Every structure is written in C-alpha cells, then in structure tokens.
Amino acid sequence: LVGIGAARVRDLFATAKKSAPAIIFIDEIDAIGRARSVGMMPSHDEREQTLNQILVEMDGFNPNEQVVVVAATNRGDLLDTALLRPGRFDRRVIVDFPDVEGRKAIVKIHAKGKPFDETVSWDRVARRTVGYSGADLENMLNEAAISAARVAREKINMEDIEDAATKVKLGPEKKRLQSDLDKKLTAYHEVGHAVVSHFLPHTDSVHRISIVSRGMALGYTLIPPAKDKLHETKTHLLERIAVMMGGRAAEEVIFNELTTGASNDFDQATSVAKAMVVEYGMSSRNKKNYYGRL
C-alpha cells in the first residue's frame, strides 16, 4: 500500500484542475504535514511521501488555473516549514474562540427549530460561555434539547442550558457511590476553592458548586470568566493559583489531613506558574528573562 497517499494527492489535484474554478480543502493537515524527521531514517515513509507530493503539486500551480488550496489545523506549530513557504500555505488566518457577540450569533443559528421558554436569555447564555467554540455551543444546545426531552418537557429552559454547558466542559454526571466521609471531604474541598475566590478582589464570581462527580473529579467549583479577556495580569494569575490551592488548604484546616483530591489542582497551578516564569517573564527574580515554550 506504499504510495497510495501520494497517488491520491495527484488524483485530487488533477480533478480540481479539470473542475476549475475549484477549492481544495485539507482538514487536519497536521496529520500528514508534520515536520519531517531530520535523521537518516524517516519516521513514516508513507506520510512523508504524501507530504512531498502535496508540495510538488502546489509548486506546479499556474496562477491561471483557478484552484485555491485551503488547509486547517489546530496545531500549526507542528507543521513542516516547507508547507509555509511563499507560494504554498503562506497566508494564515487564525480562527479564535468567538467573542460574546459571536457566541450570541452562533447560538441563535443552532437554536433554530428548537423550542425555548421565556426563561432563556441569549445575552446570558453568551456571557456564560466564555471560551466555548462554535462546536461546543452547538453541542450544548443539543444536550439541552435532550435534557428537556428526557422529562417530556415541550420547551427547553435556562436550567437545561446551564446543565448542558457544564456537561460540555466537565463531562456527564457519574453515579459514583461515595461514602459519607468522601462526600464531606469533597464538599469542604470545593468550598475551599469558593471561599478563596470570594475574598480575592480580582477573581471571577463562583457560578456553581457541586459534589456530583463529573469526569475524573468527585466534585467541582465552576468559576467561568465574567467576560472575554485579551490579557492576563500577574495579580490575576497569582489569584487563580490561590483559588486552585484553596481546596487543599480547606482539607488541612478542617481535617488536619491531606488527600489525593488536590492532584488535578496541583497540575493546573503548576501549569500556570510555569507559564508565568517561562512564557510571560513574570518571575520575581528574573523579570526580564523570557525562556520561550519548553
């Protein structure tokens, strides 16, 4: 089967030229367009042959052939530099998460054909879903519709959407059998996050606290961003770390004991702290140093 990828690329471009004007769209191009190995032995002959054929085809284009090649990826940092040279994929369009107005427009599109009651506010939904992609928003409304259908309710309400938004980000509820001690530990842990967030001046408001398991978590404290942000300050990042460690602090204060429940909090706090030093140059010792992504 070696060479099939390259042959299909040749057929694709030949078909596009015959059908011109035409657009060739390659989704997830990082699957075949990753940077090639630099050693003597290539890591994946078939993939590299396919990539090489794409480069050959794009170099052979005549501007009058009226064929446009477009590709999409979530990992532009992995692409082979040869793909990005002038005459190939030399124009980049970054599609970021939609802002509040974009989210409002997207949910209205996906809301068509679905019945909603008077409790639903699209302004509130748009503000509640900072950081959601278009696909997340579509999935959220579909899950909300399923939730209403399960209880034979004719219209979707705001609570359906709230639950669906949580499900999209944190996963479905899990019916884990927890002991009374586990529930108590989880409750104090989650309240620890909420208390720290409440008393710090630059954190966002707590939206929901639950000891219902979702994903791998036994509970969660939901603190969605109040608005879209283009920048983060050092103060806000430090307060985020403090909120992340609030659960562990509550365990120590209430139970005089440590549990494994804070492992994910440590992962997140470490990630933020590392980025502050390595990527953002916010170290107290070396404020002018920037190390780049490690």
> What residues act catalytically?
190
- Count other Cβ atoms within 10 Å, centred on residue 253: 10
| Residue with the two structure tokens 């909300």 | 144
Smallest Cα–Cα separation from 129: which of 119, 141, 118? 141
Separation CA 212–CA 217 (nearest Å): 9
The CA distance from 259 to 181, in Å, is 12
In whole angstroms, give the CA distance from residue 68 to residue 20.
9
Angle at 18 between CA 70 and CA 90, to 5 degrees: 25
* CB burial readout 81-98, b (16+ within 10 A) else e: ebbeeeebbeeeeeeeeb
